[in-house]
Amino acid sequence: METILKDLENIFLALYVIVFIISILKFPLYKNTPLKFLPLIFFFTILAEYLGKYLTHLGKIHLNIFVHNIYYLVHFSFFFYVFMKVIDNIRFKKYIGICLGVFLLFFFNDTVFTGIFENSFTKTYIAGAGILVVCIILYYVNILQSSQVLVIKNDLLFWVSVGLFLFYIGYIPIKIIRTWFYKPDSFFEILLIIQFSLIIIMCLFFLTGFLWMKKKS
């Protein structure tokens, strides 16, 4: 089991790097879209993963917690911004704006009462992940109501959103179980395998988006 976990971890870490490199190479195709900061998000993701492993190895758990808590804020806020920009339904935009406010309230609450260096902002993460799933659903509904559905396979955001949707739908319950019902047994190792597999699937959808995308006129 440990070998499988290590192999899956190495695969998804390598995929993150590949996705980041391709996002740089393909940047001219989406530099004028709301996704223009996507390479920075990928870079921050890689930084959080590798730096987190390094800090944990050094025994600096508090710094690792801080890095990931800040990452939650940047990661989710970015995608809320993206969907708010690309969705043209005014009512949906308002929903996302309200959801962003709720997410920031969770982050502020965790900052004050949980401590940004002391504990992982689990409530903030779950709120952000849940809201992001809602944003993606609103995005899909918006697509179905427009002519964009005819050329959707060439839209980078569509593939990115599919990857994010599948990951968070699968990982939210895992996050809840691992946080509040954790026991060091084989069941939780299986959950970790599922988590790593979900990351790999998400990255593959990101890569598909970059390979199929076309520049928007």
The per-residue pLDDT for range 177-201, each reduced to its tens digit, is 888 876 666 778 888 999 999 999 9
pTM over 0.75: yes
Domain ranges of the chain: 2-212
Residue 133 has pLDDT above 90, yes or no: yes
CA 96, 47, 182, 194 torsion: positive or negative?
positive
Q: Angle at Cα 61 formed by Cα 56 and Cα 67, nearest 5°?
A: 90
List the alpha helices (DSSP H) in 26-86. 27-30, 38-57, 61-86
Stated as kind and residue range, the H or E segment containing 106 is helix 90-113
75-105: pLDDT as tens digits? 999 999 999 999 999 999 999 999 999 999 9
Q: In terms of Cα–Cα distance, which of 167, 199, 186, 195 is closest to 2? A: 186
